[in-house]
Structure 1
Amino acid sequence: MTPFRAISVFHQVATLNSVSAAAEQLNVTPSAVTQQIRALEEQIGTALVVRVGRRIRLTEAGERFFELIADQVETIISATQLMQGSKTATRLTIRTTPTVSTKWLLPRLPQFLEANPDIDLRLDGTNEPTDFNRDHVDLDIRHGTGRWAGLHVEPLAVERFMPVCSPKLADPFSLEPADLLTFRMIRSVKAQIQWEQWFTHFDLRDTALKHHLLFDRSHMAVDAAVLGMGVALESNLMMGQELRDRRLVVPVRGAPEMLISTQWLVCPHTHMRRSRVRKFIDWVKGEAALWQSESEAASLS
């Protein structure tokens, strides 16, 4: 009979992708974790975990075994904690860019927390992509092109990039594209749509621009536009509240439709077997779909 203790230790190692992290979580030594894994491998008759340098990874058999046991082990652990009358919350760590976390995700999080009281959420706001072999992160909401080989990748939403400014600077739809050449251009240097592309649509040369204000974070560019410091070219995903509150307006008539996905849900394929990850992805995709429909309706009004 295969001991449940060894199976639960393997489940923890596979979930955290780390022997030391599993040992800390279980309050045992790393050598004790290793011994349990070896005992389980001897019982099953195949290697489940291999070392790659100072890291570990699951073998093909290990991934298959984890896939078969993950949901059942989590159910047993939860049931045991409930019977003990001290249900321990499950930790979910999401890494996302500062702009998405502050401008879009944070205002919506209370709904997720209310629907999932058993989950302790950690939100890690950074532009640095996760090294899933090293960092204890369940899921990235990652800015970029969506091309990350070997990972589960799906777009969060389709965004609309548009020129915006404070209504104190210009009235809505009151300017021709060439009029923007007289304004200070606010740039988010990491944005995938830049002023050059926008002006090219109108056969205007960006080299005519003399005044720039550069930021390395989109939320800073949005806030600078709200303060009337110039005209920003930003995604409606990053400034939805500012547009609804009329703190930002689109000052140009006939602005081109510049649609692109720049934010992606990213994690190892094995993380998709974690119930907490699936719960969050299902929820955030639902929120993104609702935001998408509301944004499209607003653009037509």
Structure 2
Amino acid sequence: MPVPFRAISVFHAVARSGSITRAADELGVTPSAVSQQIQTLEVSLGTALIGKSGRNIVLTEAGERYFEMIGGEIDRIMEATQRIQGFRSVTTLTVRATPSLSTKWLLPRLAAFVEAHPDIELRLDGTNEPAAFQKESVDLEIRHGTGGWPGLYAEGLVEENFRPVCAPSLAAPGSLGPEDLARHRLIHSVKSQVQWGHWFKLAGVAPATRWRRLLFDRTHMAIDAAAGGLGIALESDLMLWGDLASNRLACPVRDPPRIALVTQWITCPHDHLRYRKVRAFLDWLRTERDSWAAERAQAATTL
């Protein structure tokens, strides 16, 4: 019995998207037509490839092995077909990241990726909600947290250094000791993994019994408030970098305690790492990360 290549490509779309409905939308056919193609392939191979778990579809053990074996080949065939036709279709890459990382770090660097990959249409989804990869069309996420999400690939973006910052007009760089901060309004990022109480403990200073506070649930808002002279914020140099480099912000504290953490994680299902568009973004992201880390090391004595 000849192998039905159309059915193979339909199975690939279903396995990649995790949904018969999404595969049907992608292929421009009905869900019923997709199901028929899957049944044809299963008959041809003599084994079940897809089962159901509640309302969701799951790959059988044979289906997982088959998808793993054909995935890269189907991708290459599709790309070769597009090339021989004289064009490369636009592929959409959806990246989710927090609004603060998107605004303060990713957006200023995206031109290099966009110029290097004109065939990839990038959608940057700026939200704090963790991606439900099985239900949403998100290819890759840079997630704020502590890492270690079961079933997901997780790679720390970079180790961040947290420091107090304010507008130079509020307090000159290096002009304050840790004990002086109680005289100022302190800006709090309420979702940050590093809070003022921890910083004061490391600095060996008892925090004031009553603080003048300004609270934000978004890091980029806390940073902009500090740059506007509203108080002193405690933030990550990853988010602060543009504002530090432009002298909108500076560290007013002499010899502040060092707090270093990885709070941003590159995450996705492991099978997404096979996609060319995901690999391209990861390669670019790692290059930008390494370049930024080198820039930070070089500027360590001045910022």
Interval containing the TM-score (normalised by the shorter chain): over 0.9
- Counterpart in the other structure of 2:148: 147
Q: CA deviation at 1:183?
A: 0.7
- Please give the residue correspondences for 1:196-275 in structure 2 after superposition, counting only pairs within 5 Å: 196-275=197-276
| Contact persistence 1:71–1:275 (CA under 8 A) | no
Q: How far, CA to CA, are the matches of 2:135 and 2:208 in structure 1?
A: 44
SS in 1 for 2:62: helix
Q: CA deviation at 1:224?
A: 0.4
1:120 maps to 2:121? yes
SS in 1 for 2:235: strand
Q: How far, CA to CA, are the matches of 1:171 and 1:290 in structure 2?
A: 29
Q: CA deviation at 1:293?
A: 1.4
Q: Percent identity of the aligned residues?
A: 53
- Please give the residue correspondences for 1:18-167 in structure 2 after superposition, counting only pairs within 5 Å: 18-167=19-168
SS in 1 for 2:257: coil
Q: How far, CA to CA, are the matches of 2:63 and 2:110 in structure 1?
A: 34
Q: Which moved more, 1:272-281 or 1:21-30?
A: 272-281
Q: CA deviation at 1:84?
A: 2.9
Q: 2:59 corresponds to which letter in structure 1?
A: L
Q: Which moved more, 1:95-104 or 1:202-211?
A: 202-211
Aligned residues: 301
Q: 1:68 corresponds to which letter in structure 2?
A: M
| Contact persistence 1:173–1:251 (CA under 8 A) | yes
SS in 2 for 1:246: coil
**CA deviation vs aligned residue, 1:7-51 (integer Å, no higher than 9, x gap):** 111111122221111101111001111111122222223222222
Q: 1:34 corresponds to which letter in structure 2?
A: S
Q: How far, CA to CA, are the matches of 1:58 and 1:138 in structure 2?
A: 19
Runs of 4+ aligned residues of structure 1 deviating over 6 Å after TM superposition are none
TM-score by length of 2: 0.95
Q: 2:88 corresponds to which letter in structure 1?
A: K
Q: How far, CA to CA, are the matches of 1:114 and 1:65 in structure 2?
A: 36
SS in 1 for 2:170: coil
Q: 2:182 corresponds to which letter in structure 1?
A: L
| Contact persistence 1:181–1:208 (CA under 8 A) | no
Q: CA deviation at 1:260?
A: 0.4
- Counterpart in the other structure of 1:183: 184
**CA deviation vs aligned residue, 1:253-299 (integer Å, no higher than 9, x gap):** 01111100000001111111112111111210111111111112211
**CA deviation vs aligned residue, 1:73-105 (integer Å, no higher than 9, x gap):** 122112222333443111111111001111111
Q: Which moved more, 1:1-10 or 1:121-130?
A: 1-10
Q: 2:147 corresponds to which letter in structure 1?
A: G
Q: How far, CA to CA, are the matches of 1:6 and 1:97 in structure 2?
A: 39
| Contact persistence 2:182–2:208 (CA under 8 A) | no
Q: CA, structure 1 residues 66+209, in 2 after alignment: closer, same or farther (shift >3 Å)?
A: farther
TM-score by length of 1: 0.96
Q: CA deviation at 1:143?
A: 0.2
| Contact persistence 1:47–1:61 (CA under 8 A) | yes
Q: How far, CA to CA, are the matches of 1:59 and 1:140 in structure 2?
A: 27
**CA deviation vs aligned residue, 1:217-260 (integer Å, no higher than 9, x gap):** 10001100100100000001111000000100000001111100
| Contact persistence 1:48–1:62 (CA under 8 A) | yes
Q: Which moved more, 1:39-48 or 1:232-241?
A: 39-48
Structure 2: segments with no counterpart, 5+ residues? none
Task: Tell me the C-alpha RMSD between the 2 structures.
Answer: 1.3
Q: 1:28 corresponds to which letter in structure 2?
A: V
Q: How far, CA to CA, are the matches of 1:141 and 1:256 in structure 2?
A: 27
Q: How far, CA to CA, are the matches of 1:135 and 1:106 in structure 2?
A: 22
Q: Which moved more, 1:123-132 or 1:29-38?
A: 29-38
Q: 1:226 corresponds to which letter in structure 2?
A: A
